[in-house]
């Protein structure tokens, strides 16, 4: 069906009864036709052929240059700080030249650990422009976790904000860094052997006055490694996910495609962007996750979107920013729209500028999309599914499709393939439940320095996701359960073995298990069930403090139940966690 035919069909259709006007397959034919924005081409990477966007950016350098073309348009808002695309570009180029002058070569890792600040994208893109591998580390990590990421990645350079620098300072001597930089350091804090980032590029308000320089003359190919994001494994050790330039830029057109598909499914032409109107997104999710980086930062770079940064999400402050900046989008994890919807002050703020409210990264109740449609009838709701290993969302679910299938995470985009397999790796028919495998240009090439884990998880370009799923006859995916022993709290992964290992080191613990507790807005929280050694004593607060001192705060169990007998196990010795989950259901905490 051509675009002209689509318009003929839509002209005679009753929008109240004739939805969808076209099928998923027909919408793909329209949007990926030769000469169309979403046309595809074959691409060979590591000996495997995938479908890839023909017209999308193929490297972070291409994406950076596209962003710089927006000139004086506001790019980053951080409190009273406002940074234009041009000023951001000047700072990133200056930082890239500094890295090269400090001896950074293509392929070297440049680690960054900071909260969402204007400096974050400057460091990330400065590393890319120098040909280095940008290596963001979770800003919520403990000192031990940060040190592990620095050493495991073999980073040559580490860039921190003041809080992260103070946290890891005592461990830096063991991390092998050749160059350390810190931004926003209070004068009272000791600098140690770090260099102030402001000495090199100035504060954000001064970036616009930096001299005009060309980006470094570094040749980067689409198949070269671009990023190293860390995701925890079920063994408890974080794994670095290595992804190439074309993988990390693929989500840009993937997201734009899925948004366009909503119009086509309604039988409407895809509207052209008005260059005089700027979109604005309130950023309440961290850049150090692939969603915040690839599905938010990179798309803002491509579309000229203004990003309004929040230090931490607070519902009323978020609503004030939406009103003040006339934000068109908000998103992140399901916690965010839930808190906005239920806040008693919501009616006092003008949220009419919202055009989209999207989220993912954690289980969401089907009720949420209905509530959003009632509260913001002119805003399109959306969700999706993805992993660090897929460079953010692999499926997208928007508008009417989401409203009619609220328990689905949507279909894959045209460049991606999905299949559900049985235990032998055989593809199951539509509706069959098995492990979800995915394939495409945005699937990472493997784990950093972990060949055994790579072989176990990646097979001939297919990623074994560890998720149980089913795919219906139309191609919509439904995540049924997780094979991996992971709890997702508001988008943050908590791997049970990691927390259990810490509990087992407590002198009073004989047996321990971590299980998910359902939470209306966060999706899940961590709960622990423990058995104490005979004659030993410990209470909930003591054990929580013990975990919190050794792991990031969000991994600490919110509730701990005590049993007087060993935890139930099957014949193979595996703890029967479904039984333990029922203990929390039988003893709900109404706090």
Q: Domains of the chain by range and CATH?
A: 60-220 (3.40.50.980), 488-586 (3.30.300.30)
Position 334 confidence tier, pLDDT thresholds 50, 70, 90: confident
Q: Which of 10-14, 49-53, 208-212, 544-548 has the lowest mean pLDDT?
A: 10-14
The per-residue pLDDT for range 71-99, each reduced to its tens digit, is 999 999 999 999 999 999 999 999 999 99
Using the structure block, give the residue that is written with the tokens 């508001």.
Answer: 490
The per-residue pLDDT for range 17-48, each reduced to its tens digit, is 578 999 999 999 999 999 999 999 999 999 99
Higher pLDDT, 156 or 313: 156
Report the Cα–Cα distance between both ends of the chain, in Å, rounded.
55
Higher pLDDT, 410 or 367: 410
The per-residue pLDDT for range 241-278, each reduced to its tens digit, is 999 999 999 999 999 999 999 999 999 999 988 888 99
Q: C-alpha distances in angstroms, 48 versus 42, 225, 482, 486?
A: 10, 16, 28, 30
Q: C-alpha distances in angstroms, 43 versus 46, 227, 415?
A: 10, 20, 11
DSSP secondary-structure letter at 569? B
Choose among 306, 282, 293: nearest CA to 128.
293
The per-residue pLDDT for range 498-517, each reduced to its tens digit, is 888 899 889 898 888 899 99
Q: Nearest 5°: phi and psi at 157?
A: -125, 140
Q: Are 47 and 460 in contact (CB under 8 A)?
A: no
């Amino acid at each position: 069906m051509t675009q002209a035919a689509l318009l003929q069909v839509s002209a005679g259709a009753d929008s109240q009864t004739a939805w969808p006007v076209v099928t998923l397959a027909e919408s793909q034919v329209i949007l990926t036709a030769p000469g169309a924005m979403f046309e595809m081409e074959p691409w060979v990477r590591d000996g495997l052929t995938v479908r890839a966007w023909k017209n999308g950016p193929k490297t972070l350098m291409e994406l950076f240059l596209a962003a710089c073309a927006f000139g004086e348009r506001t790019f980053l808002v951080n409190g009273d700080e406002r940074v234009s695309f041009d000023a951001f570009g000047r700072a990133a180029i200056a930082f890239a030249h500094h890295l090269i002058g400090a001896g950074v070569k293509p392929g070297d890792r440049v680690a960054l650990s900071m909260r969402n600040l204007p400096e974050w994208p400057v460091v990330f893109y400065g590393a890319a422009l120098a040909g280095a591998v940008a290596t963001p580390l979770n800003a919520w990590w403990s000192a031990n976790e940060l040190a592990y990421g620095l050493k495991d990645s073999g980073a040559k350079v580490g860039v921190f904000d003041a809080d992260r620098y103070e946290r890891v300072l005592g461990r830096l001597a063991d991390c092998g860094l050749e160059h350390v930089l810190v931004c926003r350091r209070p004068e009272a804090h000791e600098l140690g052997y770090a260099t102030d980032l402001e000495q090199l590029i100035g504060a954000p308000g001064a970036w616009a006055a930096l001299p005009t320089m060309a980006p470094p003359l570094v040749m980067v190919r689409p198949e070269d490694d671009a990023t190293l994001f860390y995701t925890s494994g079920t063994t408890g050790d974080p794994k670095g996910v290595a992804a190439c330039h074309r993988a990390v830029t693929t989500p840009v057109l993937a997201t734009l495609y899925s948004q366009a598909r909503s119009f086509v499914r309604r039988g409407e032409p895809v509207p052209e962007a008005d260059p005089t109107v700027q979109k604005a997104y309130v950023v309440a999710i961290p850049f150090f996750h692939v969603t915040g980086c690839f599905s938010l930062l990179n798309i803002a770079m491509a579309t000229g979107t203004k990003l309004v940064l929040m230090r931490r999400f607070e519902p009323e402050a978020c609503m004030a920013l939406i009103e003040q900046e006339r934000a068109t989008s908000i998103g992140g994890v399901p916690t965010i729209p839930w808190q906005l919807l239920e806040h008693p002050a919501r009616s006092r703020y003008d949220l009419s500028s919202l055009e989209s409210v999207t989220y993912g990264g954690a289980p969401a109740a089907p009720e949420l999309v209905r509530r959003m449609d009632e509260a913001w009838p002119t805003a399109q709701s959306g969700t999706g599914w993805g992993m660090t290993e897929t460079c953010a969302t692999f499926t997208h679910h928007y508008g009417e499709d989401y409203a009619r299938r609220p328990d689905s995470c949507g279909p894959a985009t045209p460049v991606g393939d999905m299949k559900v397999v049985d235990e032998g790796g055989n593809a199951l028919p539509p509706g069959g439940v098995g492990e979800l495998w995915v394939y495409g240009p945005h699937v990472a090439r493997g784990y950093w320095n972990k060949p055994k884990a790579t072989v176990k998880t990646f097979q001939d370009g297919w990623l074994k996701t560890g998720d149980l799923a089913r795919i219906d006859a139309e191609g919509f995916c439904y995540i049924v359960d997780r094979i991996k022993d992971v709890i997702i709290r508001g988008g943050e992964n908590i791997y049970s073995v990691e927390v259990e290992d810490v509990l087992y080191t407590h002198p009073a613990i004989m047996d321990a298990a971590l299980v998910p507790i359902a939470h209306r807005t966060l999706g899940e929280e961590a709960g622990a069930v423990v058995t104490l050694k005979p004659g030993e004593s410990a209470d909930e607060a003591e054990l929580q403090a013990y975990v919190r001192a050794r792991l990031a705060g969000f991994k600490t169990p919110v509730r701990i139940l005590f049993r007087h007998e060993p935890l139930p196990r099957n014949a193979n010795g595996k703890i029967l966690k479904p039984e333990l989950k029922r203990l929390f259901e039988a003893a709900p905490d109404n706090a």
